[in-house]
């Protein structure tokens, strides 16, 4: 799942999104989903694209979304060695419809989530935030496809999705602001314990707790990427999928226990 509230810009995002949903509410989607297929995806799309765009507006949008998903697919293979074989279903909703249907599932505003199908809060064009959500949710879908019944701890699933999303957007590791925020949280004893981050999902967390959980999970994956090099992340995920055992995969690939990893990150932040 991808939260719409990021730690560093929570207030700004909330203000912007309130305005965005106010404008989209008037147009409405017709509930008649366009379906379009690419090599690895089936896209269902029902965003109310304004009349000026017309049919060609929708068509162009769908082609852009599928092209972006295929780019993300190749990147995910390159970075994480994950390459789902069956076609993945992706539903892009009109923002107002998405909020009306799914707001109750989470305690914080969601931009998308995966539950067998990738469901995304859409836009009328392929924006950078939408691209990032597509990258993010693809990680969840690919991990599920690689190990369908494995319950992946949320810090691995969400941290991996955040890391991949940001890495593909050109970001390398924690920003100075994120590092300072985490260091402050660590000083005040407000970081989550690893046990809380190891639940299957952060969906039940309140907005502030969730934004800390996402950032801390990203920091854990970033720590692994810096410790072993980015290529080792793919080895580790392959070992996790093969052994179905998180502790074993960390020990085998990084020679680390979970507690060591947690302590190493906290040491870096202190």
Footprint of Zn ion on this chain (CB under 5 A)?
A: 1-2, 158, 161
Closest separation in Å from C-beta 206 to Zn ion: 17
Instruction: Return the number of the residue (84 or 256) whose C-beta is nearest Zn ion.
Output: 84
Max Cα-Cα span within the chain: 58
The span from the CA of 89 to the CA of 37, in Å, is 9
Closest separation in Å from C-beta 165 to Zn ion: 9
Instruction: Return the number of the residue (41 or 163) whose C-beta is nearest Zn ion.
Output: 163
Rounded to 5 degrees, φ, ψ at 88 are: -100, 135
Structure tokens at 145: 């496809």
| Residue 48 near residue 28, CB atoms below 8 Å | yes
Instruction: Return the number of the residue (161 or 253) whose C-beta is nearest Zn ion.
Output: 161
Structure tokens at 227: 């410790």
Closest separation in Å from C-beta 166 to Zn ion: 12
Closest separation in Å from C-beta 212 to Zn ion: 15
Instruction: Return the number of the residue (2 or 119) whose C-beta is nearest Zn ion.
Output: 2
Minimal CA–CA distance to 2: which of 149, 195, 217, 225?
Answer: 217
Closest separation in Å from C-beta 58 to Zn ion: 27
Q: Which residue is nearest to Zn ion (CB)?
A: 1
What are all long-range contacts of 12-21, with beta carbons under 8 Å and residues at least 24 apart?
Answer: 14/109, 17/109, 20/95, 21/95, 21/96, 21/99
CB-based contacts of 109: which residues, under 8 Å, 6+ apart? Answer: 3, 4, 5, 14, 17, 99, 103, 207
Closest separation in Å from C-beta 78 to Zn ion: 20
- Mutual orientation of helices 207-228 and 258-269 as an angle, nearest 10°? 100
The span from the CA of 156 to the CA of 198, in Å, is 8
Instruction: Return the number of the residue (2 or 192) whose C-beta is nearest Zn ion.
Output: 2
Place of tokens 């029902």: 46
Instruction: Return the number of the residue (118 or 225) whose C-beta is nearest Zn ion.
Output: 118
């Amino acid at each position: 799942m991808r939260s719409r509230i990021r730690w560093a810009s929570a207030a700004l995002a909330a203000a912007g999104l309130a305005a965005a949903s106010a404008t989209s509410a008037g147009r409405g989607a017709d509930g008649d989903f366009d379906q379009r297929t690419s090599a690895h995806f089936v896209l269902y799309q029902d965003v109310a694209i304004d009349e000026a765009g017309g049919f060609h507006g929708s068509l162009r949008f769908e082609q852009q979304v599928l092209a972006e998903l295929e780019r993300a697919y190749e990147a995910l293979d390159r970075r994480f060695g994950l390459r789902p074989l069956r076609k993945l279903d992706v539903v892009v909703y009109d923002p107002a419809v998405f909020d009306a249907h799914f707001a109750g599932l989470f305690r914080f505003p969601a931009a998308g989530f995966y539950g067998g199908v990738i469901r995304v809060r859409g836009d009328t064009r392929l924006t950078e935030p939408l691209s990032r959500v597509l990258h993010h949710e693809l990680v969840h879908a690919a991990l599920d496809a690689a190990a369908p019944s494995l319950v992946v701890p949320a810090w691995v699933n969400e941290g991996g999705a955040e890391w991949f999303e940001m890495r593909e957007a050109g970001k390398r590791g924690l920003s100075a602001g994120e590092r300072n925020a985490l260091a402050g949280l660590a000083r005040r004893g407000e970081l989550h314990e690893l046990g809380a981050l190891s639940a299957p999902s952060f969906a039940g967390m309140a907005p502030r707790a969730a934004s800390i959980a996402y950032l801390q999970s990203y920091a854990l994956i970033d720590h692994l990427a810096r410790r072993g090099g980015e290529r080792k992340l793919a080895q580790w995920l392959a070992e996790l999928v093969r052994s179905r055992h998180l502790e074993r995969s960390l020990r085998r690939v990084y020679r680390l226990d979970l507690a060591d990893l947690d302590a190493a990150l906290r040491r870096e932040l202190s």
